[in-house]
Chain A
Amino acid sequence: MRIALRTAALAYLGALVLVPLGMILYRTFENGFVAFYEQVTTPAALAAVSLSLTIVAIVVPLNVIFGVVTALALARGNFPGRGILQAVVDLPFAVSPVIVGVALILFWGNDGWLGGALPVIFSLPGMVLATIFVTLPFVVREVEPVLAEVGTDAEEAAATLGASKWQTFWRITLPAIKVGLAYGVVLTVARSLGEFGALTVVAGGVAGESQTLTLLVHARYIDDHNVFGAYAASTLLMGLALLTLVLMTTLQRKRA
């Protein structure tokens, strides 16, 4: 019975995940490593990697700060509108990224509420905003339960020992939520690298300028008919994602 269950699970995962991804790997390297290397070091590819990593580098610190602040408000505060805040935090899970892109254009675009006063759409700020929107819940949802679990005793003890609020946060609260926070960061990184839907709408997709790795894969495959190039870029994207996944598993093991 157990063996049957395992086989079923493995076959399911294999057909849906492992085999398709394995096919990409096979196609990427069937012409050797050099061919792969050439495809991922073209100016457009290098610009895409750099843009994707730039977005991650901006999104992660912002999500860490606002995620921790929001988690603290939700876990420790008892204020009117707390229920609404809870729902808003989960909204990005429910809303399709394409809608996020459309909404951003409605708000920031030339015909939008702000009348295009700021150059947001089709440039880095727009891509960052879209990515923040879709990754908003991760840090909050990882940190909030940890805060609730550790409680306020240790923080109160620190206060009676003379520690200011700021000192208490750095020396007591942050070390307590460290692992949950790191886990939230890894999820944010993985999701930021992989975001596609919202970016197809708000990122112009101009090669070398406003094209992330996911957009590059799409452009090469659909527009340029450079199928091999798309495989190579996909493998690079998967490599980065795999790196974060490995980090995540290590953290999980540490947390357990």
Chain B
Amino acid sequence: MITVTHVTKRFGDFVALDDVSLEVPDGSLTALLGPSGSGKSTLLRIIGGLETADAGTVTIHGEDVTNVTPQKRGIGFVFQHYAAFKHMSVRDNVGFGLKIRKVPKAQIAARVDELLSIVGLAGLADRYPNQLSGGQRQRMALARALAVEPKVLLLDEPFGALDAKVRAELREWLRRLHEEVHVTTLLVTHDQEEAMSIADNIAVMDNARIMQVGNPRELYDRPANPFVMGFLGPVAQLDGTLVRPHDIAIRAEPEEGGREAQVRRVSHLGFEVRVELVLAEGEPVFAQLTRTEAEELDLSPGDIVWLRTAGGTALAA
């Protein structure tokens, strides 16, 4: 378990972390999710010992590491831009930590081979980083971090520099790797879809603070505030209430408590149909329907309809 208690960090006048506390459960894959500048990378770097907190403490597996150097924290760190050792082969990159620890050569070779096959780079041991694709480099970086058997694995936007397709593949791959290796993992991302799809626990950050911690479903269904609600998914506003657009029901006939609105535009996005409307008072609002719902209603621009919220999540705006 990683425990962060009352950590504060300033860079000059800029407050990067404001009295932040967080617990990362053992064996979990936790995501630190937030917009850029929210302090998530700074928090990760403080846990890794790459930055020092102005105040507060960090413990890893019960040991207070606040004043311990990164060398002695027992962490594995993966950087957004791979941080490959360019002058070393893949084999030497992965074996670096073991070589520093003066592990016998034969043992290093065996461990590197094992790791390279886990990350799917078995045939590429003698290549150099510039001969690998971005995805391969990041898998090499992961193998390198895992080689020293870290107590916790810290990943700073690990897929941020990769294109969408590779990113999706690596996410899936990391999820499976975590199920095999089961090392406590903390991953920084600004991509809510990434966090929701691979993490079992998410801490949402904004403005140097942690807004809410929970599993993906809790955060989506019971957001603590409008920021979390908006960051985790689309939000529409109806009668001073924030709701998910798929929780807005559209009727073709007037009904009790319904709000009159006019259809502006209907977009068919495959399975989902997005309807842009404008309320009688001129306020815009949008709703998401399934294909079936949309076909039954058969909406076209100019139609007058009645809206109401159909359960789900609602927050006062």
Chain A residues near B (Cβ < 8 Å): 153-154, 156-164, 167, 171-172, 175-176
Neighbouring B residues of A158 by C-beta, 8 Å: 85, 96
Instruction: Please tell me if B100 contacts chain A, counting CB pairs below 8 Å.
Output: yes
A161 with B81: CB separation less than 8 A: no
A157 with B83: CB separation less than 8 A: yes
A153 with B87: CB separation less than 8 A: no
A163 with B71: CB separation less than 8 A: yes
A163 with B100: CB separation less than 8 A: yes
Picked from B70, B76, B85, the residue with its CB within 8 Å of the CB of A172 is B85
Neighbouring B residues of A164 by C-beta, 8 Å: 71
B145 with A160: CB separation less than 8 A: yes
Q: A154-B83, A154-B85, A167-B100 are in contact. Are A161 and B144 (CB under 8 A)?
A: yes
Neighbouring A residues of B165 by C-beta, 8 Å: none
Complex Cα spacing A157 to B85, Å: 9
Q: A161-B144, A175-B87, A176-B86 are in contact. Are A156 and B70 (CB under 8 A)?
A: yes
- Kindly report which residue of chain A lies nearest to residue B101, judged by CB atoms: A162
CB distance from B78 to the nearest CB of A (A): 8
Complex Cα spacing A171 to B88, Å: 10
Q: Which 6 A-B pairs have the closest CB atoms?
A: A161-B97, A153-B83, A157-B83, A160-B77, A175-B87, A159-B70
A160 with B75: CB separation less than 8 A: yes
- Kindly report which residue of chain A lies nearest to residue B141, judged by CB atoms: A157
Picked from A156, A161, A172, the residue with its CB within 8 Å of the CB of B79 is A156
B50 with A160: CB separation less than 8 A: yes
Q: A167-B100, A175-B87, A176-B87 are in contact. Are A160 and B81 (CB under 8 A)?
A: no
- Kindly report which residue of chain B lies nearest to residue A164, judged by CB atoms: B71
Picked from B71, B101, B141, B148, the residue with its CB within 8 Å of the CB of A159 is B71
A153 with B50: CB separation less than 8 A: no
How many chain B residues sit at the interface, stated as a range, is 20 to 34
Neighbouring B residues of A176 by C-beta, 8 Å: 86-87
Neighbouring A residues of B85 by C-beta, 8 Å: 154, 157-158, 172
Chain B residues near A (Cβ < 8 Å): 48-50, 69-73, 75-77, 79, 81-87, 96-97, 100-101, 141, 144-145, 147-148
A159 with B100: CB separation less than 8 A: no
Neighbouring B residues of A167 by C-beta, 8 Å: 100
Overall SS of chain A's interface: helix
A153 with B101: CB separation less than 8 A: no
A159 with B50: CB separation less than 8 A: yes
Of A162, A171, A176, chain B has the most CB atoms within 10 Å of the CB of A162
- Kindly report which residue of chain B lies nearest to residue A163, judged by CB atoms: B100
Complex Cα spacing A162 to B70, Å: 7
CB distance from B152 to the nearest CB of A (A): 11
Complex Cα spacing A171 to B85, Å: 9
Q: List 21 A-B contacts (CB under 8 A).
A: A154-B83, A154-B85, A156-B79, A157-B83, A157-B141, A157-B144, A159-B69, A159-B71, A160-B48, A160-B145, A161-B144, A161-B145, A161-B147, A162-B72, A162-B100, A162-B101, A162-B148, A163-B96, A167-B100, A175-B87, A176-B86
A161 with B100: CB separation less than 8 A: yes
CB distance from B283 to the nearest CB of A (A): 48
With A159-B69, A162-B97 given, name 16 new contacts (CB 8 A). A153-B79, A153-B82, A154-B84, A154-B85, A156-B70, A157-B83, A157-B144, A158-B96, A159-B50, A160-B48, A160-B50, A161-B97, A161-B144, A162-B101, A164-B71, A176-B86
Q: A153-B79, A153-B81, A167-B100 are in contact. Are A160 and B70 (CB under 8 A)?
A: yes
CB distance from A179 to the nearest CB of B (A): 10
Neighbouring A residues of B87 by C-beta, 8 Å: 175-176
Neighbouring A residues of B71 by C-beta, 8 Å: 159-160, 162-164
Neighbouring A residues of B141 by C-beta, 8 Å: 157
Neighbouring B residues of A172 by C-beta, 8 Å: 85
Neighbouring B residues of A160 by C-beta, 8 Å: 48-50, 70-71, 73, 75-77, 145
CB distance from A143 to the nearest CB of B (A): 16
